[in-house]
Amino acid sequence: MIFKRIQLFKLGQAPLKRKLIITYMIMTVIPMGILGYITYTQNTKAIEEQVGEYIPRLLNQANKNIENELILLNDLPNAIYNSKEIMSILRSTPYKEKSAFLQEQYTVESFLSNNYLNSNQSDILAAFLITNNGNYISTKTPFKGMDFEDSILPFGEIHDLAGEMPIILPNKTTLTFEKNIPFILVVNELTDFENRESLGSLIFAVDVTFIEKILNDIDKEERANIWLMDEDGYIIYHPDKTLIGQIDGGLVDYPLVNGSFRTTEYAKENVLYSMNQSTNKHWILAHSIPMKYLTERTDIVKNYTLSIFFILTIVSTIISIFIAWSVTKPIKHLGKVMKEVEDGNLHVTITPTNKDEVGQLAESFRSMLEQLRILIQKNYEIELQQRNAQIYALQSQINPHFMYNTLETIGAVIEEEDPETAVDMVGILGQMLRYSLSSSENLVPLQTELTHIKNYLRLQKIRFEDRVNYEMVGEDQIPLYYSPKFIIQPIIENTFKYGMKLRKVLIISIAILVEDGKLKIVIKDNGPGIEEEKMQSIQKNLNKQDYFTRESGVGLTNVHARIKMLFSDKYGITIESKQSIGTTVTILLPLIQDPCIVYENRLEGGRENGEN
């Protein structure tokens, strides 16, 4: 009692939302549980009663269907009655020459084959015509055991079957077919309608597998056993082919009347047996199924009921939680939005749905957030303009520098009094000046940049002649990509500046390739290399965050600064050098096919940096 009071006291002190959840679940779960239990027990009882009545009716209908199939065979002798040639042979005297008999035998057996074995009656294994003029056989399956001297049904005895369906079961004859095909014999008497005299017996051996087609509708799931046997327990048909021709040892336990009953004595388990005897009492159709398969239906009902119960319980729980938390939901949502803003996400949206105090607070916060986004956008646009001005300043440093070096080269050629070469160099210089003044855009087609470098190398080749060799590979295999302007020339200039000090042929290699989704421009030379102390100084300048100092110069640092400014810290220049061996400079760029995308990415990245 004290424990219950403590529990009630704790429930009384619980938050309102918890009380609502508990109350709502009690009012829904308990009634649903009671309703589900009643539904399950009633359905179980109804299914068991229905099965006990339903199976005997199915067996009775199946028996009728089997008999109807056999009755159809009684119309087959009409083909003989309608054949004047066959009727003439049957009416003729039995005493005739052998040649005439053989001719008649061929005619009759061909008639049997064409009209019965090769017709729509696919279940007929053989046709036997027994007359006082002789015996005729047509078969599509080899057989043995048919002795016409002591026939299975000697001519004349057919009259003993008057009033019954003329059926002969396999155990009543010595006839067997190849592969032990199960069969029954259907006997038809042939009567001369002119004088009412008997002409003989037409016997069909019928494959009983047609019974399987009829019984498949009863047990589509193949959980039951349905078999056909005579009154002595001789099994005519069974799904287990090895049992055909055997005696059913449980016949003594089966009821002698039509109906169903349960037993555990013969099958050692709870089994429902149902029996139905044919109207002509030639055979008994038996059905057995373990009770566990019948109660399986009730288990389905139980599982279905439990599933519905659990689903409704879950739905009820969700509804109760939703109702209990509906008051605090707007406040929690507003708190979540504020947390995201605190983490730096200024793109969240909040739309007040209520006009109460919480809704007014959300509206004020939304207005404040919008004003903050506007201020950040204005600040970023100012910063972006400053960055573009700095990039153009870096690029402008290059143009006077390469102009100075080029004019110096042309002056040297003029001093050598080679006017034709000087004219060529002036033409090349004109192309280079046109390229430098052609566009103020940060990005140009890569092929244009490479053409500019070729012009520069041609000028240097004219000046230094055999002291310089160069090659460019990969340019024809690269599709239309864009790169920053004047990123290769400063590196080539450094190569000539230091490489020509050596008394050997300067070899310059430029390779353009795509690796791992990035564009690489690899520039190699066989110059003197870079001293370790100087190399450390260069790496230090490349790693500086502030690119716009006077110490940046116009060389490698200039190019590296522009690449990182345009794209990100993932791209830029890397240097590998060994003294007396040479230097390799690798320019790493993104694959750019549309310069507009670069501007959009920079704009989006700047916004995120401003917000964070």
Q: At what angle do helices 291-325 and 16-72 cross, to 10 degrees?
A: 150
User: Do residues 417 and 539 share a domain?
Assistant: yes
Out of 2-11, 352-361, 455-464, least confident range: 2-11
pLDDT at 320: 76
Closest C-alpha among 281, 287, 171, 167 to residue 235: 171
User: Do residues 108 and 239 share a domain?
Assistant: yes
- In the chain, the N- to C-terminal Cα span, in Å, equals 60
pLDDT at 241: 77
19 or 198, which is more confident = 198
Question: CA 132, CA 141: separation in Å to the nearest integer?
Answer: 25
Quote the mean pLDDT of the chain: 76
Residue 269 lies in a domain: yes
CA distances from 197 to 84, 192, 518 (A): 17, 5, 105
CA dihedral 285, 291, 297, 301 (to 10 degrees): 150
pLDDT-derived band at 84, boundaries 50, 70, 90: confident
Residue 481 lies in a domain: yes
**What phi and psi values does residue 239 have, to the nearest 5 degrees?**
-55, -35
User: Do residues 275 and 384 share a domain?
Assistant: no
User: Do residues 162 and 288 share a domain?
Assistant: yes
Residue 332 lies in a domain: no
Question: CA 201, CA 101: separation in Å to the nearest integer?
Answer: 18
The amino acid sitting at 9 is: F
At 110, list the tokens: 């061909």
User: Do residues 381 and 285 share a domain?
Assistant: no
User: Do residues 288 and 415 share a domain?
Assistant: no
580 or 291, which is more confident = 580
User: Do residues 269 and 390 share a domain?
Assistant: no
pLDDT at 574: 92
Quick: pLDDT tens for 310-341.
Answer: 888 888 788 877 777 776 677 677 777 788 77
DSSP 3-state percent helix, strand, coil across the chain (nearest 5): 55, 20, 25
User: Do residues 267 and 124 share a domain?
Assistant: yes
CA atoms within 13 A on the CB side of 10: 6
Residue 214 parent element (H or E)? helix 209-215
Task: Say whether pLDDT at 49 is over 50.
Answer: yes
Task: Say whether pLDDT at 273 is over 60.
Answer: yes
For residue 115, the domain's CATH number is: 3.30.450.20
CA atoms within 13 A on the CB side of 14: 16
Q: Please say which residue of 238, 258, 293 terminates a domain.
A: 293
Quick: pLDDT tens for 500-534.
Answer: 888 789 999 999 999 988 999 999 999 898 888 88
Question: CA 412, CA 400: separation in Å to the nearest integer?
Answer: 18
Closest C-alpha among 187, 370, 223, 388 to residue 296: 223
Three-class SS of residue 127? Answer: strand
Residue 555 lies in a domain: yes
pLDDT at 386: 57
Residue 326 lies in a domain: no
Give the number of other CB atoms < 10 A from CB of residue 189. 15
At 521, list the tokens: 């421009």
Residue 369 lies in a domain: no
Question: CA 63, CA 167: separation in Å to the nearest integer?
Answer: 14
pLDDT-derived band at 265, boundaries 50, 70, 90: low
**Domain of 448, in residue numbers:** 377-611
pLDDT at 3: 42
Three-class SS of residue 587? Answer: strand
User: Do residues 254 and 393 share a domain?
Assistant: no
pLDDT at 281: 66
Out of 159-173, 345-359, 424-438, 518-532, least confident range: 159-173
Task: Say whether pLDDT at 293 is over 90.
Answer: no
Q: Please say which residue of 268, 293, 318 terminates a domain.
A: 293
Out of 9-23, 117-131, 224-238, 560-574, least confident range: 9-23
For residue 554, the domain's CATH number is: 3.30.565.10
Task: Give the best-scoring range by mean pLDDT among 209-223, 415-429, 535-549.
Answer: 415-429
The pTM of the full predicted model, rounded to 2 decimals, is 0.41
In this prediction, residues 464-483 reach a mean pLDDT of 87
In this prediction, residues 365-373 reach a mean pLDDT of 81
pLDDT at 155: 44
pLDDT at 151: 47
Quick: pLDDT tens for 154-189.
Answer: 444 444 444 455 778 777 777 888 888 888 888 888
Residue 337 lies in a domain: no
User: Do residues 128 and 226 share a domain?
Assistant: yes
At 423, list the tokens: 């004219």
Do 153 and 130 meet the contact criterion of CB atoms below 8 Å apart?
A: yes
Give the number of other CB atoms < 10 A from CB of residue 113. 16
Q: Please say which residue of 246, 267, 293 terminates a domain.
A: 293
Could you give the number of structural domains in the chain? 2
**Which positions ≥6 away from 287 have C-beta within 8 Å?**
55, 58, 59, 218, 219, 224, 225, 226, 273, 274, 275
Task: Say whether pLDDT at 282 is over 70.
Answer: yes
Residue 345 lies in a domain: no
User: Do residues 288 and 396 share a domain?
Assistant: no
CA atoms within 13 A on the CB side of 463: 20
In this prediction, residues 54-76 reach a mean pLDDT of 80
In this prediction, residues 488-504 reach a mean pLDDT of 86
Task: Say whether pLDDT at 240 is over 50.
Answer: yes
User: Do residues 426 and 568 share a domain?
Assistant: yes
402 or 126, which is more confident = 126
